[in-house]
Amino acid sequence: MAKVYLKRAEKTPATGEDDTREIVARMLAEIETGGEERALQYARELDKHEGEIVVSDEAVEKAGASLPQSVKDDIQFSYDRVRGFAEAQLGSMKEFETELSPGLFAGQRLIPVNAAGCYVPGGRYAHVASAVMSVTTAKVAGVKNVVVCSPPNRDHAGAHPAIIYTANLCGADTILNMGGVQGVASLAFGLFTGHKADIIVGPGNRFVAEAKRILFGRVGIDLFAGPTEILVIADDSADPDVVASDLVGQAEHGPDSPAWLVSLSRDVAEAAMARVPEYIARLPEPNRTAAENAWRDYGEVVLVDTREEAVDVSDVYAPEHLEVQADDLDWWLDHLTNYGSLFLGEETTVAYGDKCSGTNHILPTKGAARYTGGLSVGKFIKTVTWQRMSRDANRSVGVASSRISRLEGMEGHALTGDDRLHKYFPQETFTLKP
């Protein structure tokens, strides 16, 4: 493959994981043992929060009253589209029953989990869109109890009012002024609510992501998340200014957010690289420094000769967000396979999907798009199977089961089939050994 790196990343998304794992494991163990009191201690120590943990109805009403109507209208715009997409996802799923052989019926049911925990970041930014993405999707799936936790904001003596308003609008049953590892632990262990989460979803910093990873198995999670990523594929039709703008737009998330460009045009690649510092300079602090560090340490630019090579390179990265700014968009849609969410054409961009266009922004990172998609209605629904059969169907199923069980050396399994055959067909003889 003719692949040339015009810029190589100095770090990878896995940099610094070991220290995080040790800190988070200790905190989770302490909170599981110490319960609500230890979680409260961490809230006081780390977030300087001394107020209520469970957001009251009065606080919800106050949060709504504090927001301009224009903000509420924008949140409603996002909610309507995310809900519409989630409802379409639900409509694409179905239960069924089928007769596999005479008298043997099997099927599948779609059962929502009973309780979901939604983590909504609220440290540097008020991530109202994350509340929309997680709570709305859970409620469309039919989850009975949705608990939201979000870090206390020091300017508001609790979670950001816009997050509280949004979570309530989207159907959250309980909202907690609790963030970080202690927030995730509260969701998992049912602290302050009595509802242990069956699944925990939502983005967060590396400590939040690691807490979810450690708890996976005891609870479900949406995915193993890391710093947000963008990859842009550009050909000679792409506008370098737009490419650079989109790379910087994701790099502002944090100093460890990868921004990758795969280009079929050296001119476009070099022009975009030249624009990036200019576009970073447009940002306010702390976004500017975050983007500078992200581009310096994690930015990468790859030059390829053909679009097939571009697909191969992109699929290896398996980016969270994948933009294609190139001709023949349907070709790219048909050939690209590894990504969290795909943005086709200059007219759309990651920010649209992140905020309000309808698709979910809780997406796989660190190459996980090779085997999973992002948050969807299906993440909150258990696809379970069932079967029933007639006695007559045991003639074939029971015999095959007994012989296979004995082939595997599992006599107890075999006898459960034998006993039924002898009960249902006492006058018949069956060959029950392989």
The residue type found at 82 is: V
Q: Which of 210, 252, 320, 323 is catalytic?
A: 320
Nearest to 67 by CA among 152, 168, 151, 183: 168
The secondary structure of residue 144, as a DSSP letter, is S
Catalytic residue of the set 49, 160, 253, 321: 321
Residue 87 annotated as catalytic:
no
For residue 5, CA distances in Å to 198, 269, 314 come to 44, 11, 14
Nearest by Cα to 363 from 235, 255, 231 = 231
Phi, psi for 392 (deg, rounded to 5): -65, -30
E strands, 202-313, in order? 220-221, 230-234, 259-263, 300-304
Q: Respond yes or no: is residue 253 known to be catalytic.
A: no
Rg (alpha carbons) of the chain, rounded to whole number: 26
Q: Find out whether 207 and 24 touch, Cβ atoms under 8 Å.
A: yes
Instruction: From residue 100, give the alpha-carbon distance in Å to each of 106, 182, 343, 393.
Output: 7, 49, 41, 10
- DSSP strand E in 134-292: where? 145-150, 174-177, 199-201, 220-221, 230-234, 259-263
Closest by CA to 330, choosing from 341, 348, 344, is: 344
230, 199, 53, 63 alpha-carbon torsion, rounded to 10°: 60
Tell me if 136 sits within 8 A of 82, measured CB to CB: yes
For residue 173 the two structure tokens come to 């049953």
Q: Which residues are catalytic?
A: 320-321
